[in-house]
Structures are given as C-alpha cells and as structure tokens.
C-alpha cells in the first residue's frame, strides 16, 4: 500500500509559510487530477524564486503578485508543460522581469510534431533550458534542476539545497499516483526517474498538488511496488485471455472513479509498451496503442 498523504489546511489564494524558506499559494482549480488545486511555491525572501506558477487563472496571478508585493522575482521554475503548471509562467515573467527555467518539449526524431495529451501547454518555452540539469541561485537559496522524464518527457524536479528538499512536480505526489500518457509519457523512463530521486535521500518532497511527503524513501519504494503490481495484473489479464486494454481497465480499476478510467487506460498502455519493450509482451500492431491486441511472449 502507498502511504498517501492528503490532509492539508489552506485557503485558496493566500500565501502560507510552509517551511523556513518556502511559501505556498494554492490555485482554485481542484479536480480529479489536481487534487485541491495547483500549489505554487515561493522560495526565499526579498529576491525569490517561484515554482510552477500554475493555470491560466487571473485570480491566481493576482494572488501570487499579492504574496510577493515589495519583493523581486528572480527566477520562475517550471516542472513541465501541463495546463495546470506552466501557463502563468510567461504572464508572471512579463509582470516581474523574472527569468524562466524549464525544458522545452522535444519533437521525437522522425516525427513531424510533438504528440501530446490534451492537457499539454504548448505555449510555454523557457528562457533558459535545463533539460540536462543545472544550477539556479539566489540570495539564500540554491536549486539544482534534475531531469525526471516519465510523467512527461520534459519533466524537471528542482532540489533546494538549503532544506534538502525536492519540488517534485507531478513526478511524485503524496495524494495519488501520477498519470503516464504515451507517447510523451514513458513508463521505463518513469522507473528510472523514481530511482534517481530515491538515491538522492531528500528529507522532504513538495509536490505541485497536495501536502509534502516527509518520509520519501518508503513512499517511493511503495510507489515502485505499486507499478510492479500493475504490471503483474496486466500479465495476469493476458494469461486469462483478455488481450485488449479496454477489457482490462474495468477489472483492474474496479475500485476507481469511472471518470478516471480513460486516464487508467493510458496508464495500462504505458505499462504495456514497457512490457513490449522489455520483451514480455508482443503485439502484431506496428504502432501499438490503446486498441491493439496483446499477448504474452
């Protein structure tokens, strides 16, 4: 079982000091993928960094600007191009003169365009690219950008040295597992990125949605175990003769809100593609997808 953390006390649009260096303002965009809403983090005092400015909601931009009144925004750090994370980055940069950091979505070799999910924010391109990592410094704070592909190909986590803390975006969330939508999302990359973070021994993880994870090691272990269990379930479905994802999801996700079943199907596909890549599962489809038939090798 994943030791989920979901309790949080907050008021929408109000900055809350959540650690010595960290303030958080939550946007009023709750939902089945965003939990209570997007948590925008403000780090430092006087000259600050802002992480994941959030969705295109004017009142959230106003709330961030109110929280930093009299201060300077030096850096805006974006974890990835999803509509609940990056759209306010440019407007906030325009209003504050801050430099934006993130990793642009790459077009895969041979493809004409980037194939993204519906929640993708194509509009945001960072001023400074940190796809290969990098350091971002201000008075009293030092960040290291850590590439963590999986949820999206361009996902970046940001480590705050002064608190041995990590802003984990949607890579690791306390309230839920993360959604992996192929082809931009990749399960094999995701496993690697979980191990990358696990090996770093952070004291606290601050996801963009929900409360912090204060015991990262057992949490990440449980996260990985959960994924391996899903793989085992898929192999079992194939053993029982179900060869299509649409027939597996209602059984595997019987306990989950049906509104989330389309996302669950994407997650099963992400697992399936990983199983195909690792040689455990085969398909005759040259472009394996949601509608393909799969079989055990």
Token pair belonging to 241: 């003769």
Site for Zn ion in 53-82 (CB under 5 A): 82
Task: Give me the least distance between CB of 109 and Zn ion, in Å please.
Answer: 24
For residues 3 to 32, the per-residue mask of contacts with Zn ion, x marking binding by CB under 5 A and - elsewhere, is: ------------------------------
- Asked if 209 interacts with Zn ion (CB under 5 A), we say no
Q: Which is nearer to Zn ion, 82 or 227 (CB)?
A: 82
- Asked if 170 interacts with Zn ion (CB under 5 A), we say yes
Please provide residue 243's backbone torsions phi and psi, each rounded to the nearest 5 degrees. -110, -5
Whole-number Å distance between alpha carbons of 50 and 78: 9
Give the sign of the dihedral formed by CA 257, CA 173, CA 195, CA 192.
positive
Q: Which is nearer to Zn ion, 170 or 231 (CB)?
A: 170
Q: Which stretch binds Zn ion (CB under 5 A): 165-173, 219-227, 241-249, 252-260?
A: 165-173
Task: Give me the least distance between CB of 80 and Zn ion, in Å please.
Answer: 6
Q: Which residue is nearest to Zn ion (CB)?
A: 82
Strands 204-207 and 39-43: unpaired
Q: Residue 77, SS3?
A: strand
Site for Zn ion in 76-135 (CB under 5 A): 82
Task: Give me the least distance between CB of 35 and Zn ion, in Å please.
Answer: 12
Q: Which is nearer to Zn ion, 234 or 263 (CB)?
A: 263
Q: Which helix (H) or strand (E) holds 160?
A: strand 156-160
How distant, in Å, are the alpha carbons of 183, 239, 266 from that of 233? 22, 10, 15
Question: Which residue is associated with the tokens 């593609």?
Answer: 273
Task: Give me the least distance between CB of 211 and Zn ion, in Å please.
Answer: 18
Q: Which is nearer to Zn ion, 23 or 82 (CB)?
A: 82
Q: Using CB under 5 A, count the residues that bind Zn ion.
A: 2
Task: Give me the least distance between CB of 121 and Zn ion, in Å please.
Answer: 10
The closest alpha carbon to 34, from 168, 191, 178, belongs to: 178
Whole-number Å distance between alpha carbons of 178 and 260: 12
Instruction: Return residues touching Zn ion (CB under 5 A).
Output: 82, 170
């Amino acid at each position: 079982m994943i030791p989920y953390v979901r309790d949080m006390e907050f008021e929408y649009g109000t900055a809350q000091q959540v650690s010595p260096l960290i303030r958080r303002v939550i946007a009023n965009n709750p939902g089945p993928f965003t939990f209570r809403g997007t948590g925008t983090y403000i780090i430092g005092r006087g000259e600050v960094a802002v992480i994941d400015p959030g969705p295109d909601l004017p009142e959230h931009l106003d709330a961030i600007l109110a929280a930093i009144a009299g201060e300077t925004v030096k850096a805006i750090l974006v974890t990835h191009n999803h509509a609940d994370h990056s759209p306010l980055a440019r407007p906030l940069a325009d209003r504050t003169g801050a430099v934006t950091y993130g990793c642009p979505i790459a077009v895969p070799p041979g493809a004409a365009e980037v194939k993204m999910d519906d929640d993708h924010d194509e509009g945001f391109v960072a001023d400074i690219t940190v796809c290969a990592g990098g350091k971002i410094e201000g008075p009293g704070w030092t960040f290291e950008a850590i590439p963590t592909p999986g949820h999206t190909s361009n996902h970046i986590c940001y480590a705050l040295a002064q608190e041995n803390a990590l802003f984990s975006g949607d890579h690791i969330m306390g309230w839920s597992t993360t959604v992996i939508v192929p082809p931009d999302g990749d399960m094999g990359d995701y496993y690697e990125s979980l191990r990358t973070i696990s090996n770093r021994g952070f004291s606290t993880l601050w996801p963009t949605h929900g409360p912090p994870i204060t015991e990262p090691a057992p949490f990440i272990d449980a996260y990985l175990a959960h994924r391996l269990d899903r793989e085992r379930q898929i192999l079992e479905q194939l053993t029982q003769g179900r060869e299509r994802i649409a027939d597996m999801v209602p059984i595997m996700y019987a306990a989950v809100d049906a509104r989330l079943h389309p996302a669950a199907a994407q997650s099963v596909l992400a697992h399936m593609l990983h199983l195909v890549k690792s040689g455990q599962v085969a398909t005759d489809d040259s472009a394996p997808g949601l509608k393909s038939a799969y079989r055990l090798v």
